[in-house]
Structure 1
């Protein structure tokens, strides 16, 4: 006797949600990648390919995928000639509202660590990460952020989080002297600490 044909939904899980911890989201692991990361789409595609290949997508995998995809984007930015006033290819797929907006590299304290990141929307970013203190800002984007990550690589705790060694403290203190304190209070969760009071000299680098 011929068995009734199963529906496609019962035969194959189109989005492989049975293999992803990110249930309820059509894009697997989208909650693990910053929404304003310029390389977000490439990072998510990379993570999906790795998952299908049987690789466990943990924090370390996300960190590696992020570094690789950002590096590729940096190379595209450096290699592609762009005429004055033109929009580079790697940005044409972004939202039109983002074009021409100021990009910032930010330094925020989250607990006992310093997060170094980049964003074009400070209010939205800080609302997402809820830092304990906004330490400093400097104009710049993905390339500058990567330079800072390399500069303080020996202090890296994980991903974009760094231990507050004297070199990093001194650098942030110098930014505050040059640019002034950020004076951003929205979305900040105070914990009673102040790493960089105005009357404290910059730590000596060892």
Structure 2
């Protein structure tokens, strides 16, 4: 059951959480409240393929620093993230090659938009990224 966290999540800033095994966990990213990432270790790289919409086009690109990357690209809406790097990006470019307008931009047709919508599954793409980042931190610490 979601409830207000005692304090905002250290990783993603969410304010809602759930009790798991008598400990608070963030409802968005799953990070255990009170845990602090080891400051001496580098942060994990979480590569994503992103789908950005601008007018009637969609950009399919990849980044391991999506906040910085998306801030540098003119777009109207972030449609989805998909966990993966260059290989997955190339696969998506091949999958939607018939829609390519140039570079990494594709016509926003029904099939491409349905693919992005299925990836997002109605949730905020940034929530998915926060979960993947949290998982990567936990795996590194294990």
TM-score range, shorter chain: 0.5 to 0.7
2:79 to 127, 130, 135: 135
Shift >2 Å, 4+ stretches: none
Determine the structure 1 residue equivalent to 2:117.
Answer: 173
1:147 to 67, 75, 91: 91
Alpha-carbon displacement from aligned partner over 1:61-85 (angstroms, at most 9, x marks no partner):
xxxxxxxxxxxxxxxxxxxxxxxxx
Alignment of 1:33-52 (within 5 A): none
Could you tell me how far apart the structure 1 residues matched to 2:85 and 2:126 are?
Answer: 21
Q: Cα distance, 1:106 vs. partner? A: 0.3
Q: Cα distance, 1:176 vs. partner? A: 1.5
1:120 to 64, 67, 76: 64
Larger-gyration structure (1/2): 1
Could you tell me how far apart the structure 2 residues matched to 1:119 and 1:140 are?
Answer: 9
Q: Return the structure number with greater helix share.
A: 1
Could you tell me how far apart the structure 2 residues matched to 1:108 and 1:150 are?
Answer: 17
Q: Return the structure number with greater strand share.
A: 2
- Residue 110 of structure 1 pairs with residue 54 of structure 2: yes
Alpha-carbon displacement from aligned partner over 1:20-65 (angstroms, at most 9, x marks no partner):
xxxxxxxxxxxxxxxxxxxxxxxxxxxxxxxxxxxxxxxxxxxxxx
Q: TM-score when scaled to structure 2?
A: 0.56
Identify the structure with bigger relative contact order (alpha carbons < 8 Å, sequence gap 6+).
2
SS at match of 1:137: strand
Contiguous gaps of at least 5 residues in structure 1: 1-96, 185-206
Q: Cα distance, 1:130 vs. partner? A: 3.0
Change (3 A) 1:102 1:183: closer
Alignment of 1:76-115 (within 5 A): 100-115=44-59
Q: TM-score when scaled to structure 1?
A: 0.39
Could you tell me how far apart the structure 2 residues matched to 1:153 and 1:110 are?
Answer: 18
Kindly report the root-mean-square deviation, in angstroms, between the aligned alpha carbons of the 2 structures.
2.2
Q: Cα distance, 1:127 vs. partner? A: 1.2
Change (3 A) 1:135 1:151: same
Could you tell me how far apart the structure 1 residues matched to 2:71 and 2:124 are?
Answer: 19
